[in-house]
With several copies, the nearest count.
Chain A
């Protein structure tokens, strides 16, 4: 039973390998695990996808809902990203209202997408001040083997790319009828790095996450913009570690983007 594995022991092995310039799973420091993408896995969702990075497994569904616009943006729709770290995915996840881990994850995915300006929220206005579209992007972790951040962000973008806009009649959604896909002008992707000992590695596995002192995530677009940073974890990064992580992210995402 996996919950009985001695993490202390595994952490020692990760650290020892990293100090020798290796990773336990033989990847290069800047290398991702195998990525697998399946689109449209739920008919009731307006868009959905399942993404695996190694054994990390995440499912995302999008629902387009009519709602009231925010008072300070009466002519624009909006985006709402939620994360549930299902107790299915790990012996350490518990059911219940979102905790700080899932809130951070949701907000980093949200910022990466929103700040890239890939969605034109003005197009989602239905009637100024009273009605607009909100995209609810709901992320569910199914198996946690490290780097849920990147899997969640990738599954979110793929789901949005598949999302169809429901038909409206008398300002009410006609169930099951659509008028084409929503538009995305960019495809921001998130890249997460772990600082282990004095090295920085891309796409940390679960044993690597347990051994890491700090985490850094950067969202980047195909036109080489950075759209979000997030440093997490108890340790610290040097300025040059951050700069180097950004370069690796710009390089890696060009590969990943081919799979979308």
Chain B
């Protein structure tokens, strides 16, 4: 939060509409998804999103302990977002911080909407996500990866969860900001996730100074980008059933 801001004069989008990393304002970084990378888990997924690398595993529905935390009406979803100590420029304290806890909370709530929890009373569905490398947008990368892992576990969902972080840098609304853009002096960050078929918003956060008009532009761009993410998630799930999962000679990444 107290991150160093870049010089005011940096031009984040040039006259040709290109960003410093060559992307257009609407363009998402390359995404690679591999399903079923943790044999011991009920469902799992490895995802790369630009430099971000995350792994997710799902256990459940299983017994909900301690018992007083269970619900007789539905499964409890417990989502845990964590970052490896080496996944950030400065070494992260291994103890979960307040940011980790907040992200885990709002992400749990997104999955409570997506999963048909009412079908599994008195159980817990545990979703664990670990960030192995990072460059802005990890909470959305984690959520997107976790949604595929939940599907891989065969847990019935209303829809996958798909998301993107839109934002502002140098006065321009751009999609899927990278770390350099996130450090713009006027940066605004808007992580957002929806159930793509109904366009219900299940996660929405924002920080920065944003006008209502800018919000409407950002929201529009986000919905477009999310459609692309959704297609990649579906393709990865299909691929699992088309070809045998290969051992990770290539580092566990589908090219």
**Residues of A near any B CB (own CB < 8 A):** 1-3, 36, 38, 41-46, 48, 50, 52, 55, 57, 59, 61-63, 65, 70, 72-73, 76, 78, 82, 84, 86-91, 95, 97-98, 100, 103-104, 106-107, 110-111, 114-117, 136, 138, 140, 142-145, 175-176, 214, 216, 221, 224-239, 242-243, 246-247, 250
Contacts and interface: CB of A to CB of B under 8 A. Distances in A.
A71 to B, nearest CB: 8
Interface string B217-245: 00100010000000000000000000000
A7 to B, nearest CB: 13
B42 A1 contact: yes
B105 interface: yes
B215 A239 contact: no
Given A48-B86, A59-B132, A136-B85, A107 B212 contact: no
A43 B133 contact: yes
Interface in B91-106: 91, 94-95, 98-99, 101-102, 104-106
Interface string B66-94: 00000000000000101011111101001
B54 to A, nearest CB: 11
Q: Is the interface of A mostly helix, strand, loop or mixed?
A: mixed
B216 A243 contact: yes
Given A65-B91, A100-B102, A145-B40, A225 B210 contact: yes
A87 B59 contact: yes
B210 A226 contact: yes
Contacts of A143: 37-41
A232 B106 contact: yes
Interface residues of B, number: 73
Which of A88, A90, A243 has its CB near the most chain B CB atoms (within 10 A)? A88
Contacts of B206: 226, 228-229
B4 A43 contact: no
Interface string B46-59: 00000101011101
A87 to B, nearest CB: 5
Given A2-B40, A2-B42, A233 B109 contact: yes
